[in-house]
Chain A
Amino acid sequence: MKLNLLIVDDDKMVQTMHTIIVKRSGFSEKPFNFVNGKEALDFIVSNGKEEKYLILLDINMPVMNGWELLDAFSEFGVENEIFVVMVSSSIDQHDLDKASTYSKVISYVSKPMTKDILDGLRNHDKLRTYFF
């Protein structure tokens, strides 16, 4: 089963950089980019429950931020298999602590995202099966 990779960040430069890294690292041939949580949510809901997602999710965004998207998964009863990697410029422990309270969040990455970090994620317990 293939994982759909979603890049959710309002910074176009970040979207570009993340797209380059995930493609070059072989993480995803065709990542989907969204500028806020709302767009990502609409995308997921419209694709049906069977689709599985790996989301590189920024926190601060207009319309619907990262936290609000995570809350929306519960609120809207989204049942899809979703793995979230929080990718934020914040190094605030508060944010780190908050992220750990969501079951869908499997990792927290302080920007910038690099090839090494992405390689490291490939070995993550929950993702390993999708890459080997």
Chain B
Amino acid sequence: MNNFTPPDEFINYYSLDTIQENDFDFILDFADNLYEASVVCISFFDYKRFWYKSQEIHLAQTHTPSLNFPTDTISSTDHQIFTFNTTNHPFFTDLAIRSVTAIPLYLHSGKKVGFLSLWFKESYELSAKESKMLGVLAEKTIHLVEQKKQNRSELKFGKKQIQVLLDSTSSFIWGIDRDLKLISANKNYINTIQKYTGKTVKIGDAFFEEIFFSPDLVTFFEEQCERAFLGESFTEDAVVPATQWFKKQWFEVSFYPIFQAGEVINVLINARNITKRKKSKEQYELLFLSNPQPMWVYEKATFKFLEVNQAAIQHYGYSKEEFLKLSLYDIIHAEDVAQMVEQSEVNDLLQTNDLEWRHYKKNGEIIWVQLASHEIEYQNKKASHVLINDITEQKRHLTLLEEERANTIALINSTDDLVWSIDQDARLVIANEAYFNYVKTVTGYSIKPGDSDYVESFPAELNANRKKLNDRALAGETFAIEIHFPEVGKHWGTWSETRFNPIKEGDKVRGAAMFARNITSRKEIELALETNQRILLETSEVARVGGWEIDLVNQKISWSKITKEIHETALDFEPNFEDLINFHRLGHNQERIKRIFREVVATARDFDFETQILTAKGKERWVRVKGGVKTIEGKAVRMFGMVQDINDQKKHLEEIEMQNKQLREIAWMQSHVVRAPVARIMGIVSLFQDFDDLEISTNELFNNISDSAYEIDDIIRKINNTIQTNHKQVVQ
């Protein structure tokens, strides 16, 4: 059934040739099943052409040129089915066909256009039913012809219209004979030649114009014309090289043989300029094939790849050849197939969505992609042009970000400290559990990201303070501040230390991150320490106790304020070693202090001694020096301790000692001096009591008693005077 479709040019003249061959397939199939005929054939004819359709292909190939019905049969106007013996017809006898039963095919206009025939190897008479069936099939065949003819009739141009059409087309159309000489040409052809060469073409001219036709092109035309004269109708692309008048042009050239009595007598050539299309194709190829984004075209019905670009080849690892043997099923993850089928049923011309797909690369690696597709027709198939966007990295990055976020949240949730951040408008961005709980407990409100950081239920004063601090951080300042907020004491802590850190992007502050630590217990200790220190300071001032330190390594001496006051130096006085010695009197005192210093450094023993210093104002003053030594690896590095002003104490002691001495003296006097005369009197009395006739005179004894009494009186007066004098001294 080769060369079945006739050139368009003939459509207007020959209606039978317009019938599509497959329209009749079902009639042939039906007849073949119905009858036991060797061949079923539908044949059409007119005064120039003969056409047939048979279920036996070889028949057509072998016998087409010589196929002829008996003329008497053809000319018959009988509508009836007829059977004839083929004995006298070599065409049939060669095929071993003994009888042919045929029904003529009449158009409704009454014109006979052909036959539907059944060829038998044996003589065969159709039954009435079979004949009736053949009639129905003939009717159906005619119906098909009439339908086509009707369609064609509407499109039929008049000869004049054809001429206009030929002249108005931008195609070049010309006819040639077997010698490749022009027999006809349309206006465009004639004008173009004239325009460029000045030549007026005429019948019999060779159509190869050397000006346009390169040697390659001449060869091309010679070869193609040869093909056409063999009866083939075809279309080929041809390139006309650039000339002095125009750039390189692409043509789509169709060759149509024109038959006469089965022979090709002429060839009609139609050359359409497709440069624009070709260029847009090149552009398309550039856009598609060289696009850095992976793309492909697949057939919607089968999901088979029809075209892939270089980027897709590189991305997926398949060669183009491998790709074109594959379908989407081969690269898509099994779990995504259902989604793919579902999506293929969506008939949007352009599809872009957020759906994510898992694709396999050739190496087995799974990648995540998003697709944008456009429905197109490609290679006469309903297809989809797809742009592939690999989001694997993006997803990985996102996963990492999510992990990072999860880690950050876990991290900030691992502390009881409050952690939160705000954006430029002081809206909460992120916070830890402790912060959420804190706000909830203090205000009863469950704050969430996006809320203002100034929760309404916070005391107004607190919010005002928070705003002041937030504004500082949002202005780019990093700082830490201690906040005393007794109202939340029972919920969290009375004291907090909040650190404000601006979050910057380049020079721009994007928000601020805050970190609040409950420092109540630290603060309480600090306050207690401060109090203790103050008490200590006050105590040391009252007790006149000063501190001092000697850095033996750096030879630096530090004195506290009280120490300086004790030494009566200026408050900015910075003593050196020499000064320490010079605050003592030359001689014994200085030697003693040097000796103590040497001993303490050598033995690293604690020390406690009293010494008399000479103040900066030249006053002598008793001080007590007590302290210790710090050693590193057995070596004294630091001496430290206190110095106490004991001058008053010392003086007081001296006074007491003096008084004690007086008391001792009094006691002695009472014992030895006062009691002597008393004892004498007692002795005399005792003599009188114990003995009679004493050998001393009574007078002498009485004088002695009298002397003793006066002696006692004198002594008592003396004692009294002494005490009173001392008392005056003490008072003074």
Binding site for B on A (CB under 8 A): 11, 13-14, 16-17, 20-21, 24, 59-60, 88-92, 95, 110-116
- What are the residues of chain A within 8 A of B691 when measuring CB–CB? 20-21, 24, 115
* Interface-side segment among B72-80, B580-588, B677-685: B677-685
Q: Shortest distance in angstroms between B663's beta carbon and chain A's nearest beta carbon?
A: 12
Instruction: Determine whether the beta carbon of A112 is less than 8 Å from that of B676.
Output: no
Q: Shortest distance in angstroms between B158's beta carbon and chain A's nearest beta carbon?
A: 172
Instruction: Determine whether the beta carbon of B672 is less than 8 Å from that of A59.
Output: yes
Instruction: Determine whether the beta carbon of B671 is less than 8 Å from that of A20.
Output: no
Binding site for A on B (CB under 8 A): 667-668, 671-672, 675-676, 678-680, 682-684, 686-687, 690-691, 694-696, 704
Instruction: Determine whether the beta carbon of A92 is less than 8 Å from that of B683.
Output: no
Ordered by A's residue number, 22 sampled pairs between the chains whose C-beta atoms are within 8 Å are: A17-B680, A17-B684, A20-B695, A21-B691, A59-B672, A60-B672, A88-B672, A89-B675, A89-B676, A89-B678, A89-B679, A90-B671, A90-B672, A90-B675, A91-B671, A92-B667, A92-B671, A92-B672, A111-B679, A111-B682, A114-B690, A116-B690
Q: Which of A14, A88, A95 is close to B683, meaning CB atoms less than 8 Å apart? A: A14
How far is A21 from B682 in the complex, measured between Cα atoms in Å?
A: 14
Q: Which of A13, A90, A92, A116 has the most CB of B within 10 A?
A: A13
- What are the residues of chain B within 8 A of A114 when measuring CB–CB? 683, 686, 690
How far is A13 from B696 in the complex, measured between Cα atoms in Å?
A: 10
How far is A120 from B678 in the complex, measured between Cα atoms in Å?
A: 23
With contacts A90-B671, A92-B667, A92-B668 known, is A20 near B687, CB below 8 A?
yes
With contacts A20-B695, A20-B696, A92-B667 known, is A11 near B686, CB below 8 A?
no
- What are the residues of chain B within 8 A of A13 when measuring CB–CB? 680, 683-684, 704
How far is A17 from B701 in the complex, measured between Cα atoms in Å?
A: 10
Nearest residue, chain B, Cβ from A60: B672
How far is A90 from B679 in the complex, measured between Cα atoms in Å?
A: 9
Q: Which of A11, A16, A88, A112 is close to B696, meaning CB atoms less than 8 Å apart? A: A16
How far is A92 from B682 in the complex, measured between Cα atoms in Å?
A: 18
- What are the residues of chain B within 8 A of A14 when measuring CB–CB? 680, 683
- What are the residues of chain A within 8 A of B690 when measuring CB–CB? 21, 24, 114-116
Q: Shortest distance in angstroms between A90's beta carbon and chain B's nearest beta carbon?
A: 4
How far is A88 from B691 in the complex, measured between Cα atoms in Å?
A: 22
Nearest residue, chain A, Cβ from B707: A13
Taking A14-B683, A115-B690 as known contacts, 6 extra A-B pairs with beta carbons closer than 8 A to each other, sorted by chain A number, are A11-B680, A21-B687, A21-B691, A60-B676, A88-B672, A90-B671
How far is A91 from B673 in the complex, measured between Cα atoms in Å?
A: 11
Nearest residue, chain B, Cβ from A17: B683
Instruction: Determine whether the beta carbon of A112 is less than 8 Å from that of B683.
Output: yes
Instruction: Determine whether the beta carbon of A91 is less than 8 Å from that of B694.
Output: no
Q: Shortest distance in angstroms between A72's beta carbon and chain B's nearest beta carbon?
A: 20
Instruction: Determine whether the beta carbon of B672 is less than 8 Å from that of A89.
Output: yes
How far is A63 from B695 in the complex, measured between Cα atoms in Å?
A: 30
